């Protein structure tokens, strides 16, 4: 049977309507249902010996965080049946399993973004795989443009909350029928970026002499960067930086009962005055993220060392 025919049958079964009438996220969630994600997880688990408790998502240019992993076992996304591919420079497309600060982890060297053409539900498929792998804590990282005038390029910002216009306007990864085995229909996300974990990150920052910032991550869909008015809107509504990922991943992690801690590397200063000369540039963003990757690595490994074991239960 053709793939499109299979998809139509799945949508018909779930909604009793033609696929054309159903949103992309809902279709994705119908196709990648619990059983399908179990199959993907089984395929992965059969090829690695590590059973990770921590899932790390590496942002643009931050894949080197995975260099810290010992006893590495790698799986290319491209080899996993029915798994999306990474298409963005700075995102390799590899799962790296192993030990980091003696804890079993899985690192995603490369994430999926909605602007690549993937629905938000598809972008967050790996988070559901995390859940079925037994992951209890997600460490999410990204490269972001600084809005807060007090921020400098190269700063690390602990995320205390996010503000996502795409999610608020229904580019939402949990749209569609809900499977309670993943999480509840209506998920409270008031404390999505766990306060205790943020405090541990700050303690690590002090110990490592990293001057960590804290702030709100504003999300745009991309792939174009923000206009000056977009940026002013986000800034005036409480965002300290802007990026194109993380919020939907954190939302799904929280929904799945996975604790979340996240930080951004401020890779550029977003223009908040009209007629600014330069705009953001992805190659430059990846370059800055790579320059700061060592600090990110130290922060992540020190953070895992400091974690109280009961946070991973
Ligand atoms: O994957 P992240 O969020 O780190 O990547 C940022 C946002 C866009 O994908 C890209 C823009 O340059 O970098
Ligand atoms: O300025 C930015 N805007 C959006 N996403 C980004 N990721 C890094 N920098 C930026």
Residue pair 7/58 in contact (Cβ under 8 Å)? The answer is: no
Q: How many domains does the chain have?
A: 1
Q: Is residue 197 part of a domain?
A: yes
- 283 CA → ligand 2 middle, Å: 11
Residue pair 94/51 in contact (Cβ under 8 Å)? The answer is: no
ipTM for the assembly: 0.98
Q: What's the CA gap between 158 and 92, in Å, rounded? A: 24
Q: Is residue 76 part of a domain?
A: yes
* Residue 177 token pair: 């029928």
- 180 CA → ligand 1 middle, Å: 31
What domain range includes position 199?
Answer: 32-312
Q: Is residue 267 part of a domain?
A: yes
Q: Is residue 3 part of a domain?
A: no
* Beta carbons within 8 Å of 130's beta carbon, 6+ residues apart: 52, 55, 106, 138, 253, 256, 258
- Give me the pLDDT at residue 97, please: 98
Q: Which of 63, 143, 287 to mutate to test the pocket of ligand 1 (most atoms within 8 A of CB)?
A: 143
| CB 239 near ligand 2, within 6 Å | no
| CB 290 near ligand 1, within 6 Å | no
Q: Is residue 5 part of a domain?
A: no
| CB 164 near ligand 2, within 6 Å | no
Torsions phi, psi for 133 (to 5 deg): -75, -15
Q: Which residue matches tokens 């602007």?
A: 115
Q: Is residue 23 part of a domain?
A: no
| CB 144 near ligand 2, within 6 Å | yes
Q: Which of 152, 268, 282 to mutate to test the pocket of ligand 2 (most atoms within 8 A of CB)?
A: 268
Per-residue pLDDT of the chain (313 residues; tens, 9 = 90+): 677 788 888 898 999 998 889 999 999 999 999 999 999 999 999 999 999 999 999 999 899 999 999 999 999 999 999 999 999 887 799 999 999 999 999 999 999 999 999 999 999 999 999 999 999 999 999 999 999 999 999 999 999 999 999 999 999 999 999 999 999 999 999 999 999 999 999 999 999 999 899 999 999 999 999 999 999 999 999 999 999 999 999 999 999 999 999 999 999 999 999 988 777 889 999 999 999 999 999 999 999 999 976 677 7
- Give me the pLDDT at residue 310, please: 64
Q: At what angle do helices 34-45 and 125-133 cross, to 10 degrees?
A: 60
Question: Which residues on adjacent β-strands are paired with residue 94?
Answer: 76, 109
| CB 244 near ligand 1, within 6 Å | yes
CA proximity to 289, closest of 106, 58, 85, 126? 58
Smallest CA separation from ligand 1 atom 11, residue: 282
- CATH value at residue 176: 3.40.50.1580
Q: Is residue 21 part of a domain?
A: no
Q: Is residue 20 part of a domain?
A: no
3-state secondary structure the chain: CCHHHHHHHHHHHHHCCCHHHCCHHHHHHHHCCHHHHHHHHHHHHCCCCCCCCEEEEECCCCHHHHHHCEEEEEEEHHHCCCCCCCCCCCCCCEEEEEEECCEEEEEEECCCCHHHCCCHHHHCHHHHHHHHHCCCEEEEEEEEEECCCCCCCCCEEEEEEEEEHHHHCCCCCCCCCCCCCCCCCCCCCCCCCCHHHHHHHHHHHHHCCCCCEEEEEEECCCCCCCCHHHHHHHHHCCCCEEECCCHHHHHHHHHCCCEEEEEEEEEEECCCCCCCCCCCCHHHHHHHHHHCHHHHHHHHHHHHHHCCHHHHC
Ligand 1 atom with the shortest distance to the CA of 225: 11
**Cβ atoms within 10 Å of 55's Cβ, excluding its own:** 27
């Amino acid at each position: 049977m053709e793939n499109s025919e299979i998809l139509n049958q799945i949508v018909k079964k779930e909604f009793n309507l033609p696929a054309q009438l159903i949103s992309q996220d809902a279709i994705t969630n119908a196709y990648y249902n619990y059983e399908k994600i179990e199959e993907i997880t089984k395929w992965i688990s059969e090829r690695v010996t590590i059973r990770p408790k921590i899932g790390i998502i590496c942002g643009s240019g931050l894949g080197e965080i995975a260099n810290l992993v010992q006893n590495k076992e790698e799986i290319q996304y491209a080899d996993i049946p029915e798994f999306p591919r990474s298409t963005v420079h700075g995102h390799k497309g590899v799962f790296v399993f192993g030990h980091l600060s003696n804890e079993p982890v899985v690192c995603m060297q490369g994430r999926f973004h909605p602007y690549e053409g993937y629905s938000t539900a598809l972008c967050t498929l790996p988070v559901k795989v995390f859940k079925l792998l037994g992951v209890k804590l997600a460490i999410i990282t990204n490269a972001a443009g600084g809005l807060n005038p007090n921020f400098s390029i190269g700063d690390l910002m602990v995320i205390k909350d996010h503000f996502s216009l795409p999610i608020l306007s229904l580019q939402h990864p949990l749209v569609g029928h809900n499977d309670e085995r993943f999480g509840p229909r209506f998920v409270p996300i008031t404390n999505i970026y766990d306060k205790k974990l943020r405090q541990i990150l700050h303690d690590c920052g002090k110990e490592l002499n990293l001057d960590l910032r804290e702030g709100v991550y504003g999300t745009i869909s991309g792939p174009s960067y923000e206009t000056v008015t977009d940026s002013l809107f986000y800034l005036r509504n409480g965002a300290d930086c802007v990026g194109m990922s993380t919020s939907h991943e954190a939302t799904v992690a929280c929904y799945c009962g996975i604790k979340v801690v996240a930080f951004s590397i401020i890779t550029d200063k977003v223009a908040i005055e009209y007629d600014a000369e330069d705009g953001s540039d992805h190659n430059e963003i990846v370059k800055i993220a790579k320059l700061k990757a060592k600090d990110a690595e130290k922060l992540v490994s020190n953070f895992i060392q400091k974690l109280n074991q009961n946070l991973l239960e």
